[in-house]
Structure 1
């Protein structure tokens, strides 16, 4: 057997002759469809894993054929991998690791992913004198590498474009199990999945479709999920916002305005003044403004990808500046003037009030002195008269009256009826007596 293997690897003529003989034999006796339906190849276990062993068993055959020939698909003499002769147990194999058992089963040890393929076996049925062919598939699985998500459009336009997201894996024979958006299944209103779940189609993308997205793959021995993928779509620009919002500026100040708008890719900005283009920057700065800068300032935001633009107007008013700064001396003069005015006003009010009060008191005293005495009653006159010291004025009639004792010159009674006395009532007592001697009213 070792000699046959070495002959196969060095391409010797005996192996070539055997292949030619087998090919002629197959051409002479063709397998039938009915016979193929009853015989099959079954992997044991059902699938292989990298590094393990697997046996391809023949099921459905009740006879012991004289030989077995194994192929990797498609069936062709050049794809033959093993031949086993039942009578002497000799076998010819293409790889040293392969082995054919007496019942025709094929052992494949140390599996690799490249062993995944379709396998066929042919043998001669002496009862029917026909060649029987059976076919089966071998799947070998290994740990899955992380899949990746590929987008059909790296910059789709919002509310316009359709995007296809495809889950790609380097491993064959995988199942694309599921798609996730923000850790949950994507909404079905504008999304469609391909039959194998490999591709997610989103129609007319919007800001809600940004993601992130993940796809998960699976095979019988492992599963793995992709890194999050965020859909980068073009949108905007939104209506610009201009700051600051103060529309009034004094002459000589610096006018500074800033414009911004939501957009992807970032918007381009242009400033207009009363409809005339000024600059193409997000910020506008005009130092030392004058009255001529009063008017309408317009910010225009545009997006070259979406082909859209938006604008915002702001009316700015420039006013003259009135100086309100005064020197310290001027401020002190103003304060002193105000205080002097307050004092003068108070003095005037005081003078007018007491002058009026004095006139009323004098009038009241005059009316009291000129009133005639009542009939049948004694008239008593109380005078607030002060006599000078050493005066010989007679006090007759007062000193002899028991009801009116002599009152000293400095008596407190001299202040009688002081509440009605005014400075104008302090008349010289000598003059009062002269008036009374003539019979005139004082």
Structure 2
């Protein structure tokens, strides 16, 4: 039973004690608050309630997931991986596995900590990683995640970017677009690690990413479009600009 009432009563009539409410104060139902009513025709000299703590149920482990500080670290830098978990009762054991280029799976760490740190990452750390989590009830594996270590000798860029304009209409003054049409500008530059892209219109930043799409372009959008490419690791940058002229949809001009 959850509790036990003991009474030291006078003869002959014992009290009548009724529990009117039991309130669990935690989700695990380990703490209980009680209210009671006492009715008696005799002399009640004393009683007490004995409290018993319920055992905590062990919950199943949900499927874990991996959070990676940098999926493409440069050789010689540090990286950490965390095995995230939504549900599961401790104690929990974490096992980390690596699958290399050869396809062989090896255990690289096992502990009660969900995070592993690689303080000096090398090309040998390149591969697929996953974590196995287990407790007294069950075990679950995460999906694999790729750690792609970049060789420092291959770091370069960005090169001078190239801009492709669609539709491709060219005049002597640059590129041509017809008013109320859709225009796409794509900027590409060789870089390792991959660079960041920003677009500027007449020196005002208007977009980020390698592609700039303009729907129903207007004549007021005639001007110079510049693509800025930045390699944040090397702290280097490169730019390319084009002139884009927007004509009235009824205007005809020779095209090249």
Which TM-score tier does this pair reach, normalised by the shorter chain?
A: 0.3 to 0.5
Q: More helix by proportion, 1 or 2?
A: 1
Is the strand fraction higher in 1 or 2? 2
TM-score by length of 2: 0.43
Which structure would you say has the larger Rg? 1
